[in-house]
Amino acid sequence: MKKIKLVDLISPYLEIKEELFKEWEKIFQKMWLFLGENVQKFERDFAEYCGVKYCVGLSSGTEALHLALRALGIGKGDEVILPSFTFIATFEAVWMVGAEPVFADIEEDTLCISPSDVEKKITSKTKAVIPVHLFGNVCDMEPIYELKKIHGFYIVEDSAQAHGAEYRGKKVGSLGDVSAFSFYYTKNLGALGEAGGITTDSDEIYENLKLLRNHGQISSYASINPGFNARLDEIQAAILNLKLKKLDRWNTRRREIAEIYRRLLSGLPCQFQKTKEDVKHVYHYFVIRVPERDKLVEFLRKNGVDVGIHYPIPCHLQKAAENYGFKEGDLPVTEKVSKEILSLPCHPHLKDEDVEYICSLIKKFYS
Ligand SMILES: Cc1ncc(COP(=O)(O)O)c(C=O)c1O
């Protein structure tokens, strides 16, 4: 039986393997493992790629979100608006700084945060809004910019799933005051383990972040503020440098695969994630909303296709958030979508015939 993985972690590694071992050998000859020349190169190149002045390499996407909020001075007594339909880390970052999470519903077509619900949730305590560019789509930013003009909150992009995505010709990573990236090894731009980073145009935030990631040290063993251990290491940065060169090609292939899915699944009871005008999606996953989702998952898995559910439980209904008192019914669109959503394989090394096989199975299931 054919076996198709949701994410292919081996093929991207094989593409860079030869060069990677040479780069690693150079690192191991020096044994300078943190914040060295590989990290500096990646920070320069990724900032340039995103079209901003700075990138700060960090140990994970969760730390990126956490330190982004901290660098903006957000904490106790402040409210942060975020979607509940996201990975739990987006919520955790708000919890980590002691601010109040305020969940906004999503748009039923883009599956990203709904600007009109954000507007309803704004109060005098709102200090930041976190648009999560989910599955590689880009949030509808223009109405959020309009609200920012009136209310003066910060925009913290959660770009963990959207490296290289574009909005009106600008890259994700340049659409807010700060942008948090995960380079976890399954991401469109992934290391071989844990890694993350923040992009920003602000000199002040950049200087603040460099201290926060490294125990507040301005020089060896001289700390001017308590900080964290959240540095990107040289071994991961060397991988990211090699993979960054391939990101655009890989994202183009993801878009080709998405087109095949759309063509072959049209006419079936599958709803696709829509993009706003002038958005370049990078399809971290190709998601569909379907009836009898759980039976379809079982059927596809039985036939060798690994699929995912992102996300079966929205953040506001997670046990981890029980102390905040959210309840079923708070976010109707989010709750409905979480029961219907299904992620199909959409990685750049997937073959056309694999996509055709997956679509033929879905057709069979609904016939
Ligand atoms: C939307 C989103 N935000 C944040 C994160 C956290 O990133 P990391 O796993 O690198 O800590 C992830 C990772 O899965 C994510 O998908």
Q: pLDDT digit string (tens) for 317-354?
A: 999 999 999 999 999 999 999 999 999 999 999 999 99
Question: Which band of pLDDT confidence, cut at 50, 70 and 90, is reported for residue 1?
Answer: confident
Among residues of the chain, what percentage have pLDDT more than 90?
Answer: 100
Hey, whose CA ends up nearest to atom 8 of ligand 1?
61
Locate all alpha helices (DSSP H) within 213-309, ordered by sequence: 234-244, 247-265, 293-302
Closest CA to 128 of 96, 106, 157: 157
pTM of this prediction exceeds 0.85: yes
Ligand 1 centre distance from Cα of residue 293 (Å): 24
Residue pLDDT, tens place only, 245-295? 999 999 999 999 999 999 999 999 999 999 999 999 999 999 999 999 999
Hey, whose CA ends up nearest to atom 7 of ligand 1?
61
Cα 133 from Cα 114, distance rounded (Å) = 12
Mean pLDDT of 36-42: 98
Structure tokens at 45: 């190149």
Nearest-atom index, ligand 1, CA of 62: 11
Ligand 1 centre distance from Cα of residue 81 (Å): 17
Neighbours of 360 (CB within 10 A): 12
Residues with a CB atom less than 6 Å from ligand 1 = 60-62, 65, 86-87, 89-90, 132, 158, 160-161, 182, 184, 196
Residue type, 261: Y
Give me the domains of the chain, ranges plus CATH numbers.
10-244 (3.40.640.10), 247-366 (3.90.1150.10)
Structure tokens at 99: 């601010």
Ligand 1 centre distance from Cα of residue 24 (Å): 26
Cα 273 from Cα 289, distance rounded (Å) = 8
Q: Running DSSP on this structure, what letter comes out for residue 355?
A: H
The residue behind tokens 């095949």 is: 260
Stated as kind and residue range, the H or E segment containing 151 is helix 141-151
